[in-house]
Amino acid sequence: MKLQFIGLSAVAVFAFAGCSDEEPATDNTKPTVSSFKFEDNDFVDAGEHFDVRATFTDDVKLSEAFFEIHPNFDGHSHGKANLRHSDSKIVPLAGTQGDADVHFDIPGNAAAGPYHMEVSVLDDAGNRSDVKVFGFNILQATQPEFTTVPSTITVSKGASFNVQFTVTDETDLKEVSYQIVEHGHADEAFAEGDVDLDGADDKTFNFDQDFTAPNEAVELEFIIRAYDSDENLTVEEFEIEVE
């Protein structure tokens, strides 16, 4: 009986030692960008500032949040005076939920146009969240301006229709381009074109062109982009309902 007791005790000690060598559970769960908002609005004048607020969550422990600004232009460059603006901020976090309030200063020579704010978060195990993208616009006092742009055009299937608008700039227009795309499919153009304005003081451009609607009912978007010689971009769009 004594030998049996000693043997059982040895087994118990071995089992306890084996349990203590188990590795901790691996954290493979990505953190989340729970909410995001511009504290004022999503339009900001060059030379001013704006603030954003975001909330992040993780099942174990947050590490740091990333905020990145970059221009959402189409690759063209005509700039003389203004520069396309980029910026980034990193905010340390802790715990399973955290808020980040971030302040951005926009330089006075930032080119007007659409920009993206990309937001993501890293947890303590190195997992990174999906990147959330939010759009905003930087404004300049002298950027191109559109007038007489229609709000909506309704046209029958296969019928012709006409689009007219005027764009002006105090300095010098350099390019006006357009795209007609199906709603939600901006990468597939139904029609597109551009006009290079090579004069030294092209301050007004009148657009007047006929198009033919597709032979099926569809929602289209007419997207117009106008650049001036100071790198400013203004984007305007309207809907075309094909019935």
Length, in residues, of the chain: 243
pLDDT band for position 2 (50/70/90)? very low
Helix or strand holding residue 9 (H, E)? helix 2-20
Task: Say if residue 190's pLDDT is above 60.
Answer: yes
The model's pLDDT over 164-186, given as tens digits with 9 standing for 90+, comes to 999 999 989 999 999 999 987 77
Residue 20 has a pLDDT of 53
Task: Say if residue 227's pLDDT is above 70.
Answer: yes
Residue 89 near residue 104, CB atoms below 8 Å:
yes
What b/e readout covers 95-130, taking b as 16+ CB neighbours within 10 angstroms?
eeebebebebebeeebbbbbbebebbbbbeeebebe
Give all domains of the chain, ordered by start, each with its CATH number. Answer: 32-139 (2.60.40.2550), 145-242 (2.60.40.2550)
Residue 22 has a pLDDT of 64
Structure token pair of residue 199: 């004069």
Higher pLDDT, 40 or 122: 122
- For range 187-215, the mean pLDDT: 91
Residue 32 near residue 8, CB atoms below 8 Å:
no
Residue 189 has a pLDDT of 86
